[in-house]
Structure 1
Amino acid sequence: MRRTDWSGVRLHVVTGKGGTGKSTAAAALALALAAEGRQVLLCEVEGRQGIARMFDVDPLPYAERRIATGLAGGARPGTVHALHIDPEAALLEYLALYYKLGRAGRALDRFGVVEFATTIAPGVRDVLLTGKLYEAVQRNARNKGAVQYDAVVLDAPPTGRITQFLNVSDELAGLAKVGPIRSQADTMMTLFRSPRTAVHLVTVLEEMPVQETADGIAQLREAELPVGAVIVNQVRPRDVGPDDLADALAGRLDRAQLGADLEAGGVTPSPELLDGLVAEARDHAERRALEDAQRALVAGFDVPSVELPRLPGGVDLGGLYDLAATLREQGLG
């Protein structure tokens, strides 16, 4: 069933093949959700400090920091906080909370035991990373002094690993059958498989990313994890009509008309300039044809989709707000 109402979603997981712009999409989604006074937490788990670079702030510690005002809209904008979730710091926090190992936990860290534990058992590592997300989503008034968020956005691992990352209960099956870590994993799965979670997949209109998106949707559904929307990123302008595209693709462009249009704009046409324009027009038409074919495949996924434009000047903070506005216009945010 296609889901188009996101109002009940508290955890938005954003994944995608490398190079598709999933981090950009996650940041734009956080800004879009932080409209109308809402509080949003944007998290990352891959250790790249991508959030800090996108928002031009200092590298994030393992602590929630306010980094931006949400997209303007409604009575007042909300706020975007950010959190860089580090597995070693998460394990120390876990040891302090569940085993009361404060100084002892830090001593283990100095001896390298923490790094060993989070490296040798990837399933445990993912429980620690996702456990912090779970805490932020489930936070309530009893957590005095902590921000209570209306939504949490995760810049997640790539599509090829997202099902394994979220399906922590199955990943722990061979490592921990009982105990607090296993209990925590089982509890988190109730959130990850509920309508309060949506896994959004970012793609571009190219063959490999679209195929990986299709595979990711199938794997998420098999694991009973909730598929959200497909976010089609870096879409080229569609301001050339189909007839002109067909002419460009077939090499039928009227060079005399092109020359006349250039002269009308104050540019003296030369044969080399006209050759270059015709070649560029053909390349654009070929690219548009490829994108249209891949767009038809995305439409066949039976998943809601939104499109984000390619920003010619690259993505800066102003560009993130523009993308956030585009997401809200299309109902995501």
Structure 2
Amino acid sequence: MSSGDWDGVRLHVVTGKGGTGKTTIAAALAMSLATHGKRVLLAEVEGRQGISGVFDVPRLGEDEVQVATGPGGGQVMGLSVDPKAALLEYLQMFYKLGMAGGMLERFGVIDFATTVAPGLRDVLLIGKVYEAVRRRPSRRGTRSAQLYDAVVLDAPPTGRVGQFLGVNHAMAGLAKMGPVKNQADAITALLQSAQTAVHLVTLLEEMPVQETVEAAAELRALSLPLGAVVINQEVTPPVGDGTLAQLAATDFDDAPLAADLAAVGLRVGPRMLAGLAQTGRDLTQRLALQDRERDALAGLGLPTVHLPLVPGGMDAGGLLELADAVAAQGVFG
């Protein structure tokens, strides 16, 4: 898929099984878009403060604050959407409760409403993101609210993303009419439009790939537009095919390995040689597993982004490395 196919996408939803690096990839995607000079909002809805951890900035709140500047001059703004704050804002916007909204929070009504009605909670959380996507310049100039070229949503994991994005289904038994139902309908229209793309982050391991395949089927059943499959932490072979074949052989002879090490001044004993040989066999098994799981993902028929395993943990340099890798593959434009 060429980058031009993504020109109309304003909302990039990023999901994946827990532990696949979903938040890191959402941040890398936001940074990649910012390298093209774009102004990007990166939002989270789970209250884990994952964005602040990735960028090493203070905890995020309901205000949109800058968390990074892209090499191309773009900006990444961060937002952590809180359901209680979103509900209070909603009540003020539609019902003009003013101080009464604060009284509701004091008596625990806000916590009660967002806990017993998870569908309402999700509508409120996505509603903040929806509002950011829909902002446009006013006739008299720019509105006081920030305007964005794109919004990246660090969404819930694949096990819950269908429920989270399927707001109309969640609201079916809660509101049949009124402003909440109208907002759910408007959000669904955006999520099902060409302005949205849902990207699936995975590792080349059995469980993450299985969840990715299942999530893709669920999202398609909800008429939600799928974007790319992002393969994270992909291991690349450090040696050639011939060496890999030798390592995988049951009759592997470690004498040539010992001779090669000795030729460069390294003398190792039998235990070290056995450990090196086992490491090589583990590598061949890992690569074979990756090949099998990659074939399973190919059946989804989606564009794929391949991101390397960044050694030493994730820091600012590692994040820029991933952002550059995303940009270089041209999938997101």
**What's the TM-score once normalised by structure 2's chain length?**
0.95
Q: 2:324 is aligned with what amino acid?
A: A
Q: Distance in 1 between matches of 2:123 and 2:75?
A: 27
Q: 1:290 is aligned with what amino acid?
A: L
> What are the equivalent positions in structure 2 for 1:172-211 lying under 5 Å apart?
172-211=171-210
How many residues are matched?
328
Could you list the runs of 5+ residues in structure 1 that have no partner in the other structure?
none
Asked whether the 8 Å contact 2:2–2:330 carries over to 1, the reply is no
Residue in 2 aligned with 1:219? 218
Residue in 1 aligned with 2:58? 58
Residue in 1 aligned with 2:80? 84
1:92-134 CA-partner distances (Å, limit 9, x unpaired):
1111111111211111111110000000000000000000010
Q: Determine if the alignment matches structure 1 residue 39 to structure 2 residue 39.
A: yes
Q: Distance in 2 between matches of 1:193 and 1:253?
A: 55
Q: Secondary structure at the match of 2:15?
A: strand
Q: Determine if the alignment matches structure 1 residue 229 to structure 2 residue 228.
A: yes
Q: Secondary structure at the match of 1:228?
A: strand
Per-residue deviation at 1:252?
4.0
Residue in 2 aligned with 1:307? 306
Residue in 1 aligned with 2:16? 16
1:198-253 CA-partner distances (Å, limit 9, x unpaired):
00000000111111101111111111000010000111122322332222122444
Q: Determine if the alignment matches structure 1 residue 119 to structure 2 residue 118.
A: no
Asked whether the 8 Å contact 2:202–2:209 carries over to 1, the reply is yes
Cα 1:55–1:7 shift into 2, 3 Å? same
Per-residue deviation at 1:273?
1.0
Asked whether the 8 Å contact 1:251–1:282 carries over to 2, the reply is no
Q: Distance in 1 between matches of 2:41 and 2:252?
A: 51
Residue in 1 aligned with 2:105? 109
Q: Distance in 1 between matches of 2:278 and 2:125?
A: 50
Residue in 1 aligned with 2:266? 267
Q: Distance in 2 between matches of 1:301 and 1:61?
A: 37
- Point out the more displaced range, 236-245 or 41-50: 236-245
Q: 1:39 is aligned with what amino acid?
A: R
Q: Post-superposition, which runs of at least 4 consecutive aligned residues in structure 1 deviate over 4 A? A: none
Q: Distance in 1 between matches of 2:36 and 2:45?
A: 27
Asked whether the 8 Å contact 2:2–2:331 carries over to 1, the reply is no
Q: 1:40 is aligned with what amino acid?
A: V
Q: Distance in 2 between matches of 1:282 and 1:309?
A: 21
Cα 1:3–1:117 shift into 2, 3 Å? farther
User: Could you say what the CA RMSD is over the residues aligned between the two structures, in angstroms?
Assistant: 1.3
Q: Secondary structure at the match of 2:227?
A: strand
Residue in 1 aligned with 2:133? 137
Q: Distance in 2 between matches of 1:200 and 1:36?
A: 20
Q: Secondary structure at the match of 2:193?
A: coil
Residue in 1 aligned with 2:297? 298
Q: Determine if the alignment matches structure 1 residue 48 to structure 2 residue 48.
A: yes
Q: Distance in 2 between matches of 1:140 and 1:104?
A: 31
Could you list the runs of 5+ residues in structure 2 that have no partner in the other structure?
none
Q: Determine if the alignment matches structure 1 residue 284 to structure 2 residue 283.
A: yes
Q: Distance in 1 between matches of 2:331 and 2:85?
A: 32
Q: Secondary structure at the match of 2:256?
A: helix
Q: Distance in 2 between matches of 1:140 and 1:313?
A: 42
Q: Secondary structure at the match of 1:331?
A: coil
Per-residue deviation at 1:3?
7.9
